[in-house]
Structure 1
Amino acid sequence: MSELTFDEVRVRYGSGRSALTAVDGVSLTVPSGQVVGLVGESGSGKSTLARTAVGLAPLSGGRVLLDGEDVGRRTRRGRRPLQMVFQDPYSSLDPRMSIGASIGEAMPRGSRDRRTEVARLLELVGLDPDRAATRPGLLSGGQRQRVALARALAGRPEVVIADEITSALDVSVQGAVLNLLRGVQRRLDLSMLFISHNLAVVRYVSDLVAVMYLGRIVEAGPTEQVLADPQHPYTRDLVAAAPSWHTSLLEDTVSEVADVEPSDPHRPPAGCRYHPRCPRGPLVHAERTLCVTTDPADGAAGRAHRAACHFAAPSSPVDPISHLP
């Protein structure tokens, strides 16, 4: 078990007026042995943040730490303590290699009896070890995603990052893959960052949840607490979009707001980044100019769930996420 920490991470692409800050000063901790769900709409920066951890996106600022040590330094020693399972099971595996060879390729140098280890990993993810010679083209999407998970586990990671791993699968298969993921995480006591745009999926898998909007974390805390009593209006909108649960919580409190397009990520608005779409802000309450002039992230530590909203409730005396940065 290891603790993964994003410390004021920034990722910026391009320069000048066309520059895009995809991740803007994000601090987030994945505690040892727990699952943190990272949720937000497309373009919020979730996958970019994950890619910084495995070296696929360049850091413009901040640090990514594993048990307090720079992840890049750990990787240069010949090990890859973080492994990532990608969204598309059809492009994440080499179609020219057997699944057994793909899994074996990911094992650390010097590993002995690779065939036995491949068989063990296939069995761990619910596949017949006799299929090790099979090529990915003969497998279904769900089976390929199981192989991708086995390949990630072959590297003996301390932290696994799962990036939208069910979004490309049929609905009938998603539940089985999620059950597998949760079972493997508990059995191996892994730390995990689980990325999704689906709050229902995040709720099922995660111990903690962080909500991301336009490159920033706007709310974070224990999953059940955040989803039962969301403090940031964006989180409330996400919860309201999943009416199969918590409907009674929101049905009398969500204000009618004009259908407003998301802000341009190249030029995020001043103050609160959500204010052009927010039912608590000046779009509905004209007197709340504070939302336009002052960044609510500055006082987030004193609010419930560290919500980046000027009108969120104050935090309780015992902050349930005080260990998060």
Structure 2
Amino acid sequence: MSELAFEAVSVRYGGRHGLTAVDGVSLTVPAGKVVGLVGESGSGKSTLARAAVGLSPVSAGRVLLGGVDLRTPPRRRPLQMVFQDPYSSLNPRMSIGESIAEAIPRGALRGRAQRKAEVARLLELVNLDPERAAHLPGQLSGGQRQRVALARALAGRPEALIADEITSALDVSVQGTVLNLVRSVQRRLDLSMLFISHDLAVIRYLSDFVAVMYLGRIVETGPAEQVLADPRHPYTRDLLDAAPSAYKPLFDRAPGPIADAEPPDPHHPPAGCRYHPRCPVGPLVRADRESCLTADPASATTPRWRHTASCHFSEPETTSPRTLTSS
């Protein structure tokens, strides 16, 4: 296990006048822990993950694993990623065994027999029959394919793992099984993991720490229990208010004031606090909070994962505790 660290990472598309999808993000995944990254669609979560594994260009900053810059050419890839869509993450013309064996580091095993045994071990690790190694992806269900994708990622012998919305494309009936498997494998192998999801109940179930992302920036971080029970940033509170639970049914929610329901244009983010055009307690609702229009409250992640929020009017004691149910 190794610590995964993003240091002021930015990802920009289209040159000088293009889109900054990730803007100066600093985030640490402690060794052997799970950090849940949550935010609405378009917030930059998947772009940050793709930048870590080299699929999106890092315009500024760096990504470190165990203190080593991942852009330094390694003998193997110590960081692996499981993608959202299990139907497109596997080559349909390769057998399951061939797909997994392809990811085993070169020189790690000798001979076909050892590679076959390793494939069987990995399939058993993700609760699949080793005889599935001869099957093609088209012969498997979505949940089975996602398990194969996990086995393939583990074949690379990673020190850290990124899971990007890995249950969102699955039936509800199998999501819980896959989540239980991910949690079991992470604990068994003591992996550092960045788990990305829009589902707060899933984040609560798996994560030791939580980071909330909005419009390319991290706006709140802290231990999972603290962030989800006592959110300090208005955006985090809005995310929680939008998530029904057994204790707060969807149709019993009292709607709060919303200045603007639509997110701003990411090509032209607003000055000051980026959330102020939508903030239910911001300057468009409360005239005395003009500082939100001009002063940027964004701050770097605090060491040791102390609970912090990038908000001028963060009030940790004013929010009543909330409860989320696991799915």
Report the TM-score when normalising by structure 1.
0.91
Q: Which residue of 2 aligns with 1:101?
A: 98
Between the aligned partners of 1:181 and 1:50, the Cα distance in structure 2 is: 18
Q: Which residue of 1 aligns with 2:320?
A: none
Q: Which residue of 1 aligns with 2:312?
A: 310
Residue 164 of structure 2 is aligned to residue 163 of structure 1? yes
Q: Secondary structure at the match of 1:72?
A: coil
Between the aligned partners of 1:28 and 1:16, the Cα distance in structure 2 is: 25
Q: Which residue of 2 aligns with 1:12?
A: 12
8 Å contact from structure 2 (residues 26, 300) kept in 1: no
Q: Secondary structure at the match of 2:307?
A: helix
How many residues are matched? 310
Residue 84 of structure 2 is aligned to residue 87 of structure 1? yes
Q: Residues 158-207 of structure 1: CA distance to partner in whole angstroms, max 9, x if unpaired?
A: 00100000000011110000000000000110000000111111111111
State the Cα distance separating 1:304 from its structure 2 match: 7.0
8 Å contact from structure 2 (residues 210, 222) kept in 1: yes
Q: Which residue of 2 aligns with 1:319?
A: none
Q: Secondary structure at the match of 1:79?
A: coil
State the Cα distance separating 1:260 from its structure 2 match: 2.3
State the Cα distance separating 1:275 from its structure 2 match: 0.3
Q: Which residue of 2 aligns with 1:56?
A: 55
Between the aligned partners of 1:273 and 1:65, the Cα distance in structure 2 is: 27
Q: Which residue of 1 aligns with 2:230?
A: 229
Between the aligned partners of 2:150 and 2:300, the Cα distance in structure 1 is: 39
Between the aligned partners of 2:283 and 2:193, the Cα distance in structure 1 is: 38
Cα 1:35–1:259, aligned 2, differ >3 Å: closer, same or farther? same
Q: Which residue of 1 aligns with 2:74?
A: 77
Between the aligned partners of 1:63 and 1:245, the Cα distance in structure 2 is: 41
Between the aligned partners of 1:11 and 1:115, the Cα distance in structure 2 is: 39
Cα 1:298–1:158, aligned 2, differ >3 Å: closer, same or farther? closer
Between the aligned partners of 1:246 and 1:2, the Cα distance in structure 2 is: 38
8 Å contact from structure 1 (residues 81, 157) kept in 2: yes
State the Cα distance separating 1:259 from its structure 2 match: 4.9
Between the aligned partners of 1:299 and 1:253, the Cα distance in structure 2 is: 33
Q: Residues 99-141 of structure 1: CA distance to partner in whole angstroms, max 9, x if unpaired?
A: 0000000001112300000000000001000111000000000
Cα 1:241–1:314, aligned 2, differ >3 Å: closer, same or farther? closer
8 Å contact from structure 1 (residues 12, 22) kept in 2: yes
Q: How does 1:1-325 map to 2 (within 5 A)?
A: 1-17=1-17, 19-73=18-72, 76-110=73-107, 111-112=109-110, 113-244=114-245, 247=248, 255-298=256-299, 305-313=307-315
Cα 1:39–1:231, aligned 2, differ >3 Å: closer, same or farther? same
Q: Secondary structure at the match of 1:197?
A: coil
Between the aligned partners of 2:150 and 2:161, the Cα distance in structure 1 is: 9
Q: Secondary structure at the match of 2:10?
A: strand
Between the aligned partners of 1:66 and 1:297, the Cα distance in structure 2 is: 24
8 Å contact from structure 1 (residues 211, 235) kept in 2: yes
Write 1 or 2 for the structure with the bigger share of helix.
1
Cα 1:252–1:154, aligned 2, differ >3 Å: closer, same or farther? closer
8 Å contact from structure 2 (residues 23, 217) kept in 1: yes
Stretches of 4+ moved more than 4 A in 1?
251-254, 298-304
Q: Which residue of 2 aligns with 1:323?
A: none
Stretch of structure 1 that moved more, 306-315 or 272-281: 306-315
8 Å contact from structure 1 (residues 93, 136) kept in 2: yes
Unaligned runs of 5+ residues in structure 2 are 318-327
State the Cα distance separating 1:300 from its structure 2 match: 7.8
Between the aligned partners of 1:84 and 1:222, the Cα distance in structure 2 is: 23
Identity %, equivalent residues? 74
State the Cα distance separating 1:81 from its structure 2 match: 0.2
State the Cα distance separating 1:301 from its structure 2 match: 5.5
**One-letter code aligned to 1:107:** I
8 Å contact from structure 1 (residues 304, 312) kept in 2: no
8 Å contact from structure 2 (residues 33, 192) kept in 1: yes
State the Cα distance separating 1:305 from its structure 2 match: 2.3
8 Å contact from structure 1 (residues 304, 314) kept in 2: no
Cα 1:275–1:29, aligned 2, differ >3 Å: closer, same or farther? same
RMSD value over aligned CA atoms?
2.1
Cα 1:3–1:299, aligned 2, differ >3 Å: closer, same or farther? closer
State the Cα distance separating 1:286 from its structure 2 match: 1.6
8 Å contact from structure 1 (residues 255, 279) kept in 2: yes
Unaligned runs of 5+ residues in structure 1 are 316-325
